[in-house]
């Protein structure tokens, strides 16, 4: 009887418990469904991405570290967040050479008149309000560094071309489509030989490619002409200058080739360059951080992450305007549909990623309280495409957690995502690596390529028109859902790492990537 009664009591208790469990599960499930449905609904019906893209990319423009545009973007983001009721701040992490791009004119005056397509390199000196006219010399193919020293005085009062002349301005896929196999093979062979010969020519000067412009500047050259073709129609990659007194300009392949051939044929072209950039001393650099405070576990964090800075020949649209906009839009939506998250939601819009993940590395150094309690960080930084790759970055339980979070994502967004678990830890490439290096769960949301590396990455064509807004909408929703799921997860992400095995060549154990210190002051001038 007693036993029976006990049994009956337990049975009813179990039934009750089971019922409660079902209710809780259903309630949670319904709550999750509702939040996810609301995320999708908000982005589908009320996307702000185009408006944000226009304000940031057309209005403010590119965001090179040290420029007033970078600071303007920092302030714009803080204001935007405030308008959505999200608290945001600019956190100083370092300082950089202050510089502002101005008007550039590059013109051929002889043997005929033509305005040339070119771009002053980032942080390049100006021509101090003057148009500088001069002849051009090409770095010659000399026997050794002694011959170079003897030749060097001839650069005085001239512009110097230091890049090779490309044998074609057509991208390979164009050759693939139209050329005979013989002529495409011939082109590739010729290009390999030319590239190899040019590398030897430069190395025989005895100087690195970074040091060479400085040596030419010291010898009295009036400016440096480069061409950094990006293997597509009309695209060049534009990085920083190394000269400190004379301008360095990239001339587009078509015009660079024309000048190069005219110099070689003895037609002695004369060009005029005026670059009106401004040096602005030393300026502070910031990360923009925004926050939606957690309710149950406010000292645990789920982070959205994307670098805010860019190179500055285009608008920094796909590197990394699109990652920036994805994270801002996801934050806007989360604040609307999930205003009281279980864990604190933070977004990091990092400065100076392009010069070595500097903003995010500084944040990792400055905020151990966040890094030690990080549940997950989602970074996006490889262009405008739909997110199709997620790796577990070598964390043992990443598969279990990320799969659970992804399970809540509607199938049209998740079906094309390839996951790799546990994966291997990324040592660089973008800001998630700053977190992975200290064993904190940073993940990269890898996007479809959309010809990123040739056409937009660090190029003069990285502009608004290259954005695929449908893909960006997808990414904003996906990020918001992953953040929501990571916030709600009852379990804390365990930091156990997988055994990375041994290097096949050396037999030595593969090590977890090491933490690298942020460069807090820049840029650093090359010394060799
Ligand atoms: Zn980037």
My answer on whether 235 and 296 are in the same domain is no
How far apart are the C-alpha atoms of 48 and 288, rounded to whole Å?
19
Cα–Cα nearest to 441, from 403, 380, 494, 514: 494
Domain total of the chain = 2
How much distance in Å is there from the Cα of 295 to the middle of ligand 1?
A: 33
pLDDT value at position 19?
A: 56
How much distance in Å is there from the Cα of 115 to the middle of ligand 1?
A: 32
CB 460 within 8 A of CB 119: yes
pLDDT value at position 26?
A: 63
How much distance in Å is there from the Cα of 528 to the middle of ligand 1?
A: 27
Give 8's contacts (C-beta < 8 A, 6+ positions apart): none
My answer on whether 297 and 214 are in the same domain is no
How much distance in Å is there from the Cα of 309 to the middle of ligand 1?
A: 8
Q: Under the phi-then-psi rule, with left for phi > 0, alpha for psi from -120 to 50, and beta for the rest, what region is 108?
A: beta
> pTM of the predicted model, to two decimals?
0.93
How far apart are the C-alpha atoms of 125 and 245, rounded to whole Å?
6
How confident is the chain (528 residues) per 10-residue block, as mean pLDDT?
45 57 63 91 98 98 98 98 98 98 97 98 96 98 97 98 98 98 98 98 97 98 98 97 97 98 98 97 98 98 98 98 98 98 98 98 98 98 97 98 98 96 96 98 97 96 98 98 98 97 93 97 90
In a domain, 342, yes or no: yes
How much distance in Å is there from the Cα of 453 to the middle of ligand 1?
A: 11
In a domain, 28, yes or no: no
CATH value at residue 255: 3.50.30.30
Which residues partner with 119 through β-bridges?
A: 250
pLDDT value at position 470?
A: 98
My answer on whether 293 and 419 are in the same domain is yes
How much distance in Å is there from the Cα of 480 to the middle of ligand 1?
A: 20
My answer on whether 348 and 321 are in the same domain is yes
Cα–Cα nearest to 435, from 359, 381, 508: 359
My answer on whether 116 and 73 are in the same domain is no
My answer on whether 206 and 308 are in the same domain is no
Which residues partner with 459 through β-bridges?
A: 237
My answer on whether 214 and 359 are in the same domain is no
Model confidence pLDDT, tens digit, residues 440-495: 999 999 999 999 999 999 999 999 999 999 999 999 999 999 999 999 999 999 99
My answer on whether 387 and 249 are in the same domain is no
How much distance in Å is there from the Cα of 206 to the middle of ligand 1?
A: 33
pLDDT value at position 29?
A: 72
CATH value at residue 308: 3.40.630.10
Task: Show the domain range for 352.
Answer: 43-97+282-488
What 3-state DSSP class applies to 418? strand
The radius of gyration computed from the CA coordinates of the chain, to the nearest angstrom, equals 27
How much distance in Å is there from the Cα of 329 to the middle of ligand 1?
A: 18
Query: Would the CA dihedral through 57, 58, 59, 63 be positive or negative?
Result: positive
How much distance in Å is there from the Cα of 447 to the middle of ligand 1?
A: 12
In a domain, 526, yes or no: no
pLDDT value at position 430?
A: 97
Instruction: Determine how many CB atoms are found less than 10 A away from the CB of residue 302.
Output: 29
CB 426 within 8 A of CB 420: no
pLDDT value at position 11?
A: 54
Q: Under the phi-then-psi rule, with left for phi > 0, alpha for psi from -120 to 50, and beta for the rest, what region is 61?
A: left
Spatial strand order in the sheet of 104-110: 114-115, 104-110, 270-275, 132-138, 159-161, 223-226, 248-251, 118-120
How much distance in Å is there from the Cα of 305 to the middle of ligand 1?
A: 11
pLDDT value at position 4?
A: 41
In a domain, 26, yes or no: no
């Amino acid at each position: 009887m007693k036993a029976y009664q006990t049994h009956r009591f337990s049975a009813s208790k179990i039934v009750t418990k089971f019922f409660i469990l079902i209710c809780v599960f259903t309630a949670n499930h319904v709550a999750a469904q509702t939040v996810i449905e609301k995320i999708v609904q908000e982005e589908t019906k009320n996307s702000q991405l185009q408006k944000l893209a226009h304000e940031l990319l057309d209005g403010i423009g590119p965001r090179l570290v040290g420029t007033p545009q970078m600071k303007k973007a920092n302030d714009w983001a803080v204001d935007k967040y405030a308008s959505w009721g999200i608290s945001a701040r600019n956190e100083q992490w370092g300082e950089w050479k202050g510089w502002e791009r101005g008007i550039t004119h590059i013109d051929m005056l002889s043997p005929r008149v033509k305005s040339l397509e070119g771009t002053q390199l980032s942080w390049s000196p100006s021509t101090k309000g003057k148009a500088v006219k001069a002849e051009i010399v090409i770095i010659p193919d000399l026997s050794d560094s002694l011959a170079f020293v003897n030749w060097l005085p001839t650069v005085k009062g001239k512009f110097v071309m230091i890049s090779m002349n490309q044998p074609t301005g057509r991208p390979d896929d164009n050759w693939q489509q139209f050329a005979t196999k013989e002529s495409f093979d011939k082109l590739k062979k010729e290009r390999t030989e030319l590239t190899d010969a040019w590398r030897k020519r430069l190395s025989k000067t005895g100087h690195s490619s970074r040091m060479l412009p400085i040596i030419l500047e010291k010898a009295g050259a009036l400016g440096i002409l480069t061409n950094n073709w990006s293997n597509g129609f009309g695209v060049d990659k534009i990085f920083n200058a190394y000269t400190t007194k004379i301008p360095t300009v990239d001339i587009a392949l078509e015009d660079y080739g024309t000048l190069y051939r005219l110099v070689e044929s003895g037609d002695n072209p004369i060009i005029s360059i005026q670059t009106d950039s401004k040096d602005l001393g030393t300026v502070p650099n910031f990360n923009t951080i925004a926050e939606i405070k957690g309710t149950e576990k406010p000292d645990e964090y789920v982070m959205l992450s994307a670098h805010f800075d860019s190179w500055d020949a285009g608008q920094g649209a796909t590197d990394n305007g699109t990652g920036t906009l994805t994270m801002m839009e996801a934050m806007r939506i989360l604040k609307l549909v999930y205003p009281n998250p279980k864990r604190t939601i933070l977004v990091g819009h990092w400065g100076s990623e392009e010069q070595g993940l500097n903003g995010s590395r500084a944040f990792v150094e400055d905020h151990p309280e966040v890094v030690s309690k990080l549940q997950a960080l989602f970074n996006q930084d490889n262009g405008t495409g739909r997110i199709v790759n997620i790796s577990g970055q070598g964390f043992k339980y990443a598969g279990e957690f990320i799969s659970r979070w992804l399970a809540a994502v509607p199938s049209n967004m998740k079906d094309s995502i390839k996951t790799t678990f546990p994966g291997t830890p990324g040592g660089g490439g973008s800001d998630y690596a700053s977190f992975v290096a200290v064993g904190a769960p940073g993940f990269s949301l890898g996007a479809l390529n959309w010809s990123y590396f040739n056409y937009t990455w660090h190029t003069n064509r990285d502009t608004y028109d290259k954005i695929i807004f449908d893909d960006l909408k997808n990414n904003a929703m996906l990020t918001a859902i992953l953040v929501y799921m990571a916030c709600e997860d009852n379990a804390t992400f365990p930091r156990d790492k997988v055994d990375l095995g041994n290097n096949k060549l050396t037999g030595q154990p593969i090590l977890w990537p090491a933490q690298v210190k942020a460069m807090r002051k820049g840029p650093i001038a090359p010394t060799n």
